[in-house]
Structure 1
Amino acid sequence: MGWDALPLVDAVDERPLIERRAVVRDGFYEMQVRTVIERVPGSAGIAQRWAVSPYRGCAHACRGCGARGGHRRLGLDAGVDFDTRVVVKANAVERLGVELGRWGGEALAVGVSGDCYQEAERTYRLMPGIVAALAGAAVPFTVYTRSPLVLRDAALLARAGAQVAVSIAFVDERIRRAVEPGAVGAQARLELVASLVEAGVECRVLMAPVLPLLSDGADQLEATVRRIAAAGAVAVEPVVLRLPVGTRAWFVEWLGRARPELVGRYEELYDGAGFPSPDYERRILGQIGQLGRRYGVPVGSVVARVREPRFPQLTVV
């Protein structure tokens, strides 16, 4: 033969894991998953221990998002890839129905590894099926989001007895543009809270993440809590920024460009696991607690209530 070829056994597919397992469609990575209920990382700082996340990665591009590390397990980076390569769990509704058949009823979070109402939801519309499945199984759940798209499903969420936790960490638009470049502004989210309350949805605010030395000034905290209370939220749940593996490098790299004088102070404030100093955290949470009492809004976790099933639960065998 006048040609030579490499043996097939020597060929190595060096693409990231996600690109070998997913179908790329309209810029999204579609995957068929074997399980959709996942343990919530301890660094998340929320009340629930388990979560359903139809999307992994998030176009909101929040620099301090604690879910960034999950992208590394897919062969992607925790920075730009997390913001732009969103993974869609295309069979999430189907798998959730199976898993709820043997679920013990413990409360679930929805949207931890990526906002469940980010732009991908306009295309895939997975949330109505997820909400219906959770409501039918009488599993209490809280939807975590920054997106006004959640209003599309307000009536469904209200009937399901769901809680919605809208993330509003600060009301300074300059900070928002720097650290949450893909999300809508604080004013739009405050209006979202008011609209959800008007629609009969139990809505609270996840005041997270409070950014040390950036959004933790007394006047900043007061302005945020005051406006959250005025929007009608049932509670405020504050969480100080965590910097777990994957998030830390990305956040500190940005901090080094934007506020290099703060890098050393962050290194002193955070331990190796990415948790802030307990003394600092107690002080900030104490301040927010006092502000909540001043403005008449409870501060702390509020767990969604268990409801009766809307229809008999099917047993999966």
Structure 2
Amino acid sequence: MRWQGQELGVADAAALPGLEHLNGLVRSVTTPEFAGVTFHEVLAKTALNHVPGSSAMPFDWTVNPYRGCSHACVYCFARGTHEYLELDSGRDFDSQVIVKINVAEVLERELRRGSWTHQPVMLGTNTDPYQRAEGRYKLMPGIVGALTESGTPFSILTKGTLLRRDLPLLREAAQSVRVSLAMSIAVFDDALQHLIEPGTPTAEARLETVRAATEAGFRVTVFLMPILPHLTDSIAAIDDALTRIKAAGATRVVYGALHLRPGAKQWFMQWLRQEHPELVSSYLGLYPGASTTAPKAYRAWLAKRVRPLLQVHGLGGHAEDDHPRGTPVAGLAARADARAASVVMTSRGRAKAAVAAAEPRLF
């Protein structure tokens, strides 16, 4: 193991651009266990992040113990945030991970303030709190403990199977505060998943984590997003995903089409040109210029395809667009709703016929 030490408040001439004066930088760490990844350990001044009122996010408070993510999802919407540190949103985002080693202690102090009103706190909306680094730094137990002790409800969204480590702690926390768990699984084809999310656990490993959380008493939501045009939006792909999600015990699904925000867009298009050059012109048509979201027509087409399949699988759920600012994320900020209403359709075949009504495909 190689340790690169640095005194607090002293600029490091050898540091990466943007990190030489990073507030609270303790040291930068590399280790063979995480080949190609450098962890920059910092002392955070704050832990609670207030989401601006102008944001489309349907929650007000987050905690992010890490910046950057070794999951290396090429489409990750948070990539652009790395540029604030003068790091790039591509390879640096995957390999230069900022670790707030004192985040639990700072959070505990903030939650003790008389001004704190115990609003729900969301974890996992920027970078994943259960990415591989969490296996080394073990920041989440302290965060969970601080939130629970203060009586603050919280939600966790992750792609990480490390969540299973903390299920006993989370189950205990749920006896005192509202705890909601969600697993993000975008790609169920192993070959594609390895290409587009090279640092993530497999879909099956994540489904096993859903099963474990369900057995621990949680009503788990699965985020089936982003759905990738021409890659994961076929009827067969969606039906297979929902079949496996249902079998794992999840109760709700939140779905949505790919977002390509600045930083992520350039990185994703570079990947697409390398792996699927035949789709480049189609994606340029769907996400022209500075556009970050799929066209409304595509999202409507996708909803017509997904909603009947949610019904046929007996899953509750909604599109990410269905919950504007100021409403809780269903299944996350509040307890999941009752199981989906009885399926109106009398057979799976009729459900699939309704889905097929979205054809012919125009995208």
Partner of 1:299: 317
Q: Call closer, same or farther: CA 1:121–1:247 in 2, change over 3 Å.
A: same
Deviations 1:106-164 (A, max 9, x none): 32211233211112111211100111111222222211111111111001112222222
Where does the alignment leave 5 or more consecutive residues of structure 1 unmatched? 1-11, 307-317
Partner of 2:142: 129
Q: Call closer, same or farther: CA 1:234–1:42 in 2, change over 3 Å.
A: farther
Deviations 1:157-186 (A, max 9, x none): 122222221111131112101101111111
Deviations 1:26-85 (A, max 9, x none): 431011222222255899986434321101111111111111111110111111111111
Amino acid at match of 1:109: M
Q: Helix, strand or coil for the counterpart of 2:306? A: helix
Match of 1:283 among 268, 283, 301: 301
Is 1:57 the equivalent of 2:63? no
Partner of 1:96: 107
Q: Which moved more, 1:243-252 or 1:282-291?
A: 282-291
Partner of 1:312: none
Partner of 2:18: 17
Amino acid at match of 1:240: A
Q: Helix, strand or coil for the counterpart of 1:73? A: helix
Contact kept, 8 Å, 1:146 with 1:183, in 2: the verdict is yes
* Equivalences for residues 36-185 of structure 1 within 5 A: 36-39=47-50, 47-100=58-111, 101=113, 102-161=115-174, 162-185=179-202
Q: Helix, strand or coil for the counterpart of 1:163? A: strand
Contact kept, 8 Å, 1:43 with 1:66, in 2: the verdict is no
Partner of 2:276: 259
CA distance in 1, matches of 2:226, 2:50: 20
Q: Helix, strand or coil for the counterpart of 1:67? A: helix
Contact kept, 8 Å, 1:53 with 1:116, in 2: the verdict is yes
Contact kept, 8 Å, 1:47 with 1:303, in 2: the verdict is no
CA distance in 1, matches of 2:80, 2:202: 25
Q: Call closer, same or farther: CA 1:230–1:13 in 2, change over 3 Å.
A: closer
Amino acid at match of 1:233: A
Percent identity (aligned)? 38
Alignment root-mean-square deviation, CA: 2.4
* Equivalences for residues 204-243 of structure 1 within 5 A: 204-243=221-260
Q: Helix, strand or coil for the counterpart of 1:206? A: strand
Q: Helix, strand or coil for the counterpart of 1:88? A: strand
Match of 1:186 among 203, 212, 218: 203
Amino acid at match of 1:85: Q
- What is the TM-score of this pair, normalised by structure 2? 0.76
CA distance in 2, matches of 1:45, 1:209: 17
Amino acid at match of 2:107: L
Contact kept, 8 Å, 1:170 with 1:221, in 2: the verdict is no
Q: Which moved more, 1:74-83 or 1:29-38?
A: 29-38
Partner of 2:342: none
User: Which fold has the larger relative contact order, with Cα–Cα distance below 8 Å and residues 6 or more apart in sequence?
Assistant: 1
Contact kept, 8 Å, 2:69 with 2:128, in 1: the verdict is yes
CA distance in 2, matches of 1:229, 1:196: 14
Contact kept, 8 Å, 2:69 with 2:97, in 1: the verdict is yes
CA distance in 1, matches of 2:293, 2:167: 35
Contact kept, 8 Å, 1:43 with 1:275, in 2: the verdict is no
